[in-house]
Amino acid sequence: MGSDFNFFSLVIEATFVVQMVMLLLVAASVMSWTHIIGKWREFKQVRRRADDFEERFWSGVDLSQLYAELEEGRQSGMAAIFQSGFKEYARLHKQGALSPAAIADTAVRSMKVALSREVDSLGKHLNFLAIIGATSPYIGLFGTVWGIMHAFLALRDVQQATLSLVAPGIAEALVATAMGLFAAIPATVAYNRFSDGTNRQLMRYDNFIEEFTAILHKQVHRSGGPSEGGAGDD
């Protein structure tokens, strides 16, 4: 392949429309990788915080003490779910206006609301990755069609068509296709991985809510109230 057919020369010599397509795909790829790296760090932090909280929760710590520790800062993830449920449970238990089952059920509903907020947070920007993965190949294909069309239009004023006359236009068109795939493939893979990670984390939160609910049902029947006993008590 000659020097005239290197990647940068193809981009520079491409038609204006194809250059705009390439620029759009480069911008989409950059934004996609920015979100991918950000979500990877977020998921890593969410898993680490969940591990730390579960270790603390199942250590047998008094639930009121754990709740007091969490009130010192803004919480997220599993800690926020626990905080929401225990806050509602302690408030209703102190009032004593509802039955034990109603108190526990109200706490569970509060945790479900907190759960939905956490899931929304985990799913943030995933739709953007899905859009990039779905549309980038078609944007690249548009540039390909335009480049091939331009290449063949250049033959209208020549007596004899040769491959050397259309090769640059076809080459720049194929570059647009390649850039579309380059933007789409990482976004699609990342979307699938993060969607699976969100579902796994949701299942983990659901399991914690079920386990914590069982503890609340047991605690609400104790005459001592919510401050007695920890998560490790029988």
Query: What is the token pair recorded at 141?
Result: 């294909």
Range 196-232 burial, b when 16+ CB lie within 10 A, else e: ebbeebbebbeebbeebbebbbebbeeeeebeebbbe
Q: How many domains does the chain have?
A: 1
Answer with the residue of higher pLDDT: 205 or 162.
205
Q: Give the confidence band of 96 by pLDDT, cuts at 50, 70, 90.
A: low
HEC profile of 193-233: HHHHHHHHHHHHHHHHHHHHHHHHHHHHCCCCCCCCCECCC
Mean pLDDT of the chain: 82
Residue 182 lies in a domain: no
Residue 130 lies in a domain: yes
What local confidence, expressed as pLDDT, does residue 3 receive?
45
Domain of 94, in residue numbers: 23-135+190-220
Residue 180 lies in a domain: no
Residue 168 lies in a domain: no
What local confidence, expressed as pLDDT, does residue 165 receive?
65
pLDDT exceeds cutoff 80 at 184: yes
Residue 9 lies in a domain: no
What local confidence, expressed as pLDDT, does residue 73 receive?
67
Residue 149 lies in a domain: no
Residue 170 lies in a domain: no
pLDDT exceeds cutoff 70 at 158: no
pLDDT exceeds cutoff 70 at 160: no
Query: What is the token pair recorded at 171?
Result: 């080459």
Residue 94 lies in a domain: yes
